[in-house]
Amino acid sequence: MKQATKFIHAGTEPDPSTGAIMTPIFQTSTYVQSAPEVHKGYDYSRAGNPTRTALESACAEIENGKYGLAFSSGVAAADAVIKLLKPGDEVIASNDMYGGTYRLFSKVFDKFGIKFHYVNMSDADNISAAINDKTRLIWVETPTNPLMNIIDIAAVTAIAKNQNILVCVDNTFASPYLQNPLDLGADIAMHSSTKYLGGHSDVIQGCLVMNDKQLQEDLFFIQKSCGAVPGPQDCFLVLRGIKTLHVRMQRHCENGEKVAHFLRNHPKVAKVYWPGFNDHPNHEVAKRQMHGFGSMISFELKDESPETLKKVVSSTKIIALAESLGGVESLINHPATMTHASIPREERLKNGLKDSLIRLSIGIEDADDLMADLDQAIG
């Protein structure tokens, strides 16, 4: 089945009791049993809910995986993955990644005795150097946030192979339309469904997709035991979002390409970070593992003064100043004070994230309007 057909039909069957073409929102906490242990597959909504089941199947299908699990947020999905580990285990993670994941690792799990090594994975050899006999997980995020580096997923999974090391890829930035980590050998694909899957900035949610039955059972056990499950209405919203993912992503990619080139040609812009440029350091890897380059773009102005930065990010009229990404509307963000403020400044600078960096999530509005808006804001 081709992708467009799959995205529209994934996980959904007409409701058997009514014929409703859209999956009903099963707003219920419990399910009546005819006798102890005799029920219709559901006993309590933390363990399972039919709206969530439909969404979990959809997530699995669109990521080319066997099993999906939905969580109440993207970080709750990441939290579940780390809970597969025990004290003494070690994790190798990207040094450039979502600030909230870094905070979860360094401020919550570090004190439980799990050790995290942050390495620059643009060169996969750096990973081999950090592996030891306690390494249990490699955490990849690509494209990286906010510097838009590209990590070669197949190269990472080749390193982990036969070493009893799991590879989890945070695929939020690419979405399943542009990249499918399981096809490249990863064990788990993770999403903040809040972003492109939902697509309309109206829900917080996360998901994990995997092929291995034992891994699914272990993660389902954590989902049920720790309880970070999404409600049925939120599951419905993400199911609806997935139906238009391919159409939105096509426009995101077209707009992203136009805006990236516009910024690069702008006399006041010093540098633009976007994996679609031929001279992006890992452009060839991006071309190989992605089906397009997306619409996440970061840039720096020639004038690096904090005043100019503040003026530019505060004066766009269509593009809203806000955290998050992946919605139909364009957003502008200042990582150092917003999305990445939870990473210490020295750590950010060491990884190349300057205070003057601006990140854009280009939406699906008319590209000319977006470029005119940026032009007047940059001035």
Ligand X SMILES: *Cc1c(COP(=O)(O)O)cnc(C)c1O
Active site residues: 46, 98, 170, 195
Interface with ligand X by CB under 6 A: which residues?
A: 73-75, 98, 100-101, 141, 145, 170, 172-173, 192, 194-195, 204, 206
Please, which residue, 143 or 262, has the CB nearer to ligand X?
143
The nearest distance, CB 209 to ligand X, in angstroms, is 15
The nearest distance, CB 73 to ligand X, in angstroms, is 3
User: What values do phi and psi take at 38, rounded to 5?
Assistant: -110, 105
Please, which residue, 327 or 371, has the CB nearer to ligand X?
327
The nearest distance, CB 206 to ligand X, in angstroms, is 5
Task: Please check whether residue 335 is in contact with residue 353, taking contact to mean a CB–CB distance below 8 angstroms.
Answer: yes
The nearest distance, CB 328 to ligand X, in angstroms, is 16
Please, which residue, 61 or 141, has the CB nearer to ligand X?
141
Q: Which residues pair with 44 in a beta bridge?
A: 30
Please, which residue, 8 or 226, has the CB nearer to ligand X?
226
Token pair in block for residue 100: 């909230």
Please, which residue, 145 or 289, has the CB nearer to ligand X?
145
The nearest distance, CB 172 to ligand X, in angstroms, is 4
